Amino acid sequence: MKLKKVMNGLTYEVVKGNGDLNIGEIQYDSREVKSGDVFVCIKGYVTDGHKYIDKAYKNGAAAIVISEEVENVPDCTVIKVKDTRKALAIISSNYYDNPSKKMKIIGITGTNGKTTSTFMMKSILETAGYKVGLVGTIANYIGDKKIPSHRTTPESLELQKLFKQMVDEGVKYCVMEVSSHSLYLDRAYGVKFSEAIFTNLTRDHLDFHKTFENYYKAKLILFKNTINSVINIDDKYGDRIYEDALGTKITYAINKEADLKADDLNIHSRGANFNITYRGQTAHINLNIPGKYNIMNALGSVGACLCEGISLEVVKKGLESMDAVPGRCEIVTKGYNLGYEVIVDYAHTPDGLENILKTAREFTTGRLIAVFGCGGDRDNTKRPIMGKIGTELSDFAVITSDNPRGEEPMAIINEIVNGVEKDDYKVVENRKEAIKEAIHMAQKGDVIVVAGKGHEDYQILKDKTIHFDEREIISEILDNAQ
């Protein structure tokens, strides 16, 4: 492929060499560069790609794309652009023949609910007869084919490659989680969304965004590049998104008047029943996932699908055919006759923890027992907040380690405990032992919520990452106890 072709749509200056040479692949990691490749210098928070120009050149780079002045220009084609992150997104799209333009892309953003909403939408769209791709936290999917996911939204090069695979395999709709990081870092730059769903906005990622206003503005980027916005106006930021978003807009809510509304809610331990009303049409939904917030996730998914012309009848069938989402309010004791339940949930924010505990409380006849911690090398201001929420909303809490990463687990736990105002808790640093402690104290009617890791099958320690699947651990503990 010609370099000029992959640079199409960009304003750039050829600092040195031939701007129309034949090239190999696109790379932003100098270690991956091979003879004939283009190396794009991405400036990150840990390092700067401009520092690795010599390494990329020695590995055979035919062209290097920069955004800063370079003292020692290598003996190859060098192209300067204003922003290499945006350039990488456009170059990658061009390289893979602009695959996002050959599908309808539906983006979902918000602090919580993105993953569950993508699975709901995938089920509805497949029920409507479409082949669907999914990009998200748990995994990426092309139809039924599961592809490992390393981050919520891939870097633009990997994202465009995934889009290309989807197009080649006949995908008509791609449903994707769009994280605030990815929006701020232009990973989805240049992608035009057919639908953008706003789920909610609560405290998270302030270690990265620094202020809540920055966090909001990052989320808003999605709603500046969509044909239609589907907005939760029960959330206090919904009205602001509605004002700031471009394109057509529809609203959804439980508590307020909205274009799409849910009422007659009945939430139980195995799911939720409710009615949805849209433009004079009503349908009764039997959802297989419990929780009021999952009804909200369903509403956003329904709204986007209705905007795509899918009938309410198909929407109902698609939602009702979907089982639990891995690690999202997932009851892992269905195969056991224990008299109590254990739920695994990804809740790792104050709002997420509050939601899952309030949901579990709705169908708990005995005690509600919470097992939770906080991740290391992340926003530490939420730790005491989660300590307060986790202990206030449960009858007993076991505070433990999560993914400590580079921090000392007990240092994190001590910050969580700083927010605790009750005595009904216990600290057990080892997460497996903490889960075991909760299970051993469980009695008939109790519900245990193990929060923080959900679908993850690993634990990130200071010096290594170990296999750690809470569903496996819980089964092992229960099997050994019988």
Residue ranges for the binding site for meso-2,6-diaminopimelate?
378, 402-405, 452, 456
Cα 101 to the center of its chain, rounded Å: 23
Listed residue (243, 357, 355, 262) closest to 300, CA to CA? 262
Q: Which residues contact 27 (CB under 8 A, 6 or more apart)?
A: 33, 37, 38, 39, 40, 56, 61, 157
Tokens 């999952």 identify what position? 294
Q: Which of 443, 455, 424 is nearest to 364 (CA)?
A: 443
CB 318 within 8 A of CB 309: no
Query: Binding site membership for ATP: which residues?
Result: 110-116
The DSSP secondary-structure symbol of 290 reads -
* Locus of tokens 């290097």: 64
As annotated, the binding site includes 30, 110-116, 152-153, 179, 187, 378, 402-405, 452, 456
Following DSSP, what letter does each residue of 389-449 receive, concatenated? HHHHSSSEEEE--S--TTS-HHHHHHHHHTT---S-EEE-SSHHHHHHHHHHH--TT-EEE
The Cα 232–Cα 241 span in angstroms is: 9
**CA dihedral defined by 352, 355, 357, 362, rounded to 10 degrees?**
-160
H or E element, residue 261? strand 260-268
